[in-house]
Amino acid sequence: MTKGSLPSDDWIHQQALKFGGQSLPARPVVVDDTTDFMAIDRDHIIALQGVLYLVRCNEREGRFGMEDQPKFWVKRAVDLSTGQTHILKLVFQEEFKIRVGSLPVKCVRSAEKEGRVLELVRGDRRFMQGRTARDSRGNLVRVIDFISGADLLSYLHSIRLRHEEYAATLLPEILARVRESCGGIQRLHDAGLCHGDIRNDHLLIERDTGCYKWIDFDLNQDFSDFDVWSVGNILHCVVAKGFVTFSDALRLRPELSGQLKEDDASVFFPHRVMNLRRVYPYLPAKLNEMLLRFSFGAQVCYDRVSQVMEDLSDCAESMDWKWNRI
């Protein structure tokens, strides 16, 4: 976009004040090349294919106690034409490795892959919605509709019930929602795509609708079952109403000292107990059997997310959970 094609500075000032409540400098900073995302700051304007976005802040990392760590490549911004809030995901090249059990897994960020997912899931309420736009240098920016709500873990922590009461009342409904969300992941797999970063903070619960929505699809792995194993982390989070580590288990049930073994641990996070029925004996046996398929002691593992969905349905039927009413 050339300077001559931009709206006037007066228009930019007027819209910024209207939608952002913010007075800008006399000459607004307008950026149409997002390559140097570190230099794009609050109250700067990002120009993308004829649309101007007022940057309000950098999004922040919300896991592992890193709430204060800004993600400089992810900007919260307001469309100056409509006033709608968006998340702008700028191109960030990153590679890193994690481990699933003893297996190292290479993770690579891909804006193009996330763009393909956004195109596939357009109109599907189980996913965040958005589009892609190229900046003046050809960088693929993802323009995401802002979702007002809480992530799964924050929602679970907000429930003021003892675990036994939670398991008897709210857990069946939440598992029904998780099963529906798993259907979204299976849809990606059927199309030859993946989520790539299934985490408790990447499943948002929309405030107005209660819909569970997957976000953030820009990671790829060289491990085809990564999504499947990651679903186990979601199940642990939901069934445990947060997380249960080995130290948590011994605090809750000191009599388990010396009884919990490596086979009871999560493959992804060896400090977490996947054999949750040892800690919460009132949990359904079939549900615990599902969790054990994601443990070091697993004799049988899941190959597809659809198998997880099937077993969740079997568990619901065995417990007479009335999912058809949810």
> Same domain, yes or no, for 77 and 185?
no
Instruction: State residue 68's pLDDT score.
Output: 63
Q: Of 70, 90, 110, which residue sits at a domain end?
A: 90
- Per the confidence metrics, is the pTM higher than 0.85? yes
> Same domain, yes or no, for 65 and 177?
no
Number of domains in the chain: 2
Q: Is 232 inside a domain boundary?
A: yes
Q: Of 42, 57, 90, which residue sits at a domain end?
A: 90
Does the structure show a pLDDT above 90 at 172?
yes
pLDDT (tens digit per residue) in 46-78: 999 999 999 999 998 754 444 568 899 999 999
> Same domain, yes or no, for 233 and 303?
yes
Whole-number Å distance between alpha carbons of 89 and 205: 20
> Same domain, yes or no, for 77 and 153?
no
Q: Is 143 inside a domain boundary?
A: no
> Same domain, yes or no, for 163 and 286?
yes
Range of the domain at 42: 1-90
> Same domain, yes or no, for 303 and 181?
yes
Whole-number Å distance between alpha carbons of 166 and 294: 23
Average pLDDT on 179-184 reads: 98
Q: Are strands 219-221 and 30-31 parallel, antiparallel or unpaired?
A: unpaired
> Same domain, yes or no, for 67 and 156?
no
| DSSP β-bridge partners for residue 201 | none
Q: Is 104 inside a domain boundary?
A: no
Q: Is 265 inside a domain boundary?
A: yes
> Same domain, yes or no, for 156 and 257?
yes
pLDDT (tens digit per residue) in 246-272: 999 999 999 999 999 999 999 999 999
- The CATH number of residue 179's host domain is 1.10.510.10
Q: Residue 221: which of 105, 98, 124, 314 has the closest Cα?
A: 105
Instruction: State residue 20's pLDDT score.
Output: 84
- Mean pLDDT over the full length of the chain: 93
